[in-house]
Chains A and B, each alone.
Chain A
């Protein structure tokens, strides 16, 4: 099967004055095309750094990173990155925000509007095209960010704790809708979270990272059909398994 992401012995060190901080050490994993993978790990374990490396924003200090067989480069590849923080342009409307990626990716200007409207509809925001970000809720802002990422037809979707700031109900709704979109569009998703239940609900495979310097502690295949019932015994047993691995790492902090 074709590999969407391949990391081989990746390390990342930051030089802070005279000392150096090793965030990631000897990290190796791969993600298949069209796969949904969640990465869980204790906070401060370099999850965000990992995402920056995979999206080509930062090079690793050592090791090899390949995204569809080439070193990641957002100027030549199409990445849909969804951040934890609000990343909408406050001076643009919902429609203008969804167009943003299309403008940068060199789509024909005559197509922007039509494509943007299609994806606004896909995330259920039709009717809100002309609203500014400050006029809509946190959950709606996330939908706009997702529509903006999907509109460029990305090869890879990278999500950095995108639903962490949402209330519980909105979060579970967004999770279900994300799975809907994923099953419709057939995309590779790398989803970072510290919420174990979220990982079991979403992912085909869950990678548990160790505390800093991070590497993969355990890979768990979630062999449950979608949609998953959060209260079913197998769901709970997966959750417990991951929580156990997760808590072993938390204790050391």
Chain B
């Protein structure tokens, strides 16, 4: 705790020094960022939207994309994990796709989609692949003995999936959800580049980048970082609650 605190203090001292001796007139020091933070939080930005409003709108968009990413990633992952031949067939499509960054998808999504779907699509790009890959990994790690055991009790394929494969893959799936939510959240700036609306944390950053007011840009960056941290922590907490049966295996 003490170490963590001192590293934060050292970080701010460095920042202050760099701002002080930097030749650029646009690099703000921590104090002006704090001032900008308070202004945006209480008064709002040039269009009158407060920081909380920006954050809520961005969260809403990310959660929508996350929901779609989960609703597609888990079932497709289960299917591909269970059917290795199908997985082999689609691997040449999936593998290169997952290395294309969200920003590269912007022009296509403008051409293909409208309105809210553009946000959802760009965030989905970030969420889908981690969820998909971890779900497949979880399914593959299901113990053959447990499947045979269930068969000797007369389980059919549907029961094997719902009662053995899914619960046994759940720790990996949750890990995929956590990573996916993180990556999806990181896509928010890219997603909000294309939406015309003036709200959202990504929008806030872009707006003030154009105005060359870097202090507000940093306020947006820090807010994105802190909310990402909080989301990650929330899912970790949920995992800990759900997987008490696994606690000692991990230790």
A134 closest partner in B (C-beta): B248
Picked from A78, A79, A134, the residue with its CB within 8 Å of the CB of B245 is A134
Picked from A86, A89, A103, the residue with its CB within 8 Å of the CB of B167 is A89
Return A134 CB to nearest CB of chain B, in Å.
Answer: 5
Known A-B contacts A91-B168, A103-B163; the reply to A57 vs B244 at CB < 8 A is no
| Count, chain B residues at interface, CB 8 A | 23
Determine if A87 is an interface residue (Cβ-Cβ < 8 Å).
yes
Return A112 CB to nearest CB of chain B, in Å.
Answer: 13
Given contacts A52-B148, A83-B149, A91-B167, 5 further A-B pairs with CB under 8 A are A57-B151, A81-B149, A90-B249, A91-B246, A134-B245
Looking at chain A, what size class is its interface with the partner chain?
20 to 34
- Asked if A74 and B152 make an inter-chain contact with CB atoms under 8 angstroms apart, the answer reads yes
- Asked if A101 and B153 make an inter-chain contact with CB atoms under 8 angstroms apart, the answer reads yes
Picked from B145, B148, B245, B248, the residue with its CB within 8 Å of the CB of A91 is B245
- Asked if A100 and B153 make an inter-chain contact with CB atoms under 8 angstroms apart, the answer reads yes
Interface centre among B146, B243, B246 (most CB of A within 10 A): B146
Q: Which residues of A contact B170 (CB under 8 A)?
A: 91
Q: Which residues of B contact A135 (CB under 8 A)?
A: 248
B242 closest partner in A (C-beta): A91
Determine if A108 is an interface residue (Cβ-Cβ < 8 Å).
no
Docked CA distance A90–B152 (Å): 18
A contacts, CB < 8 Å to B:
52, 55, 57, 74-76, 78-79, 81, 83, 85-87, 89-92, 100-101, 103-105, 132-135, 152, 158
Determine if B23 is an interface residue (Cβ-Cβ < 8 Å).
no
- Asked if B153 and A90 make an inter-chain contact with CB atoms under 8 angstroms apart, the answer reads no
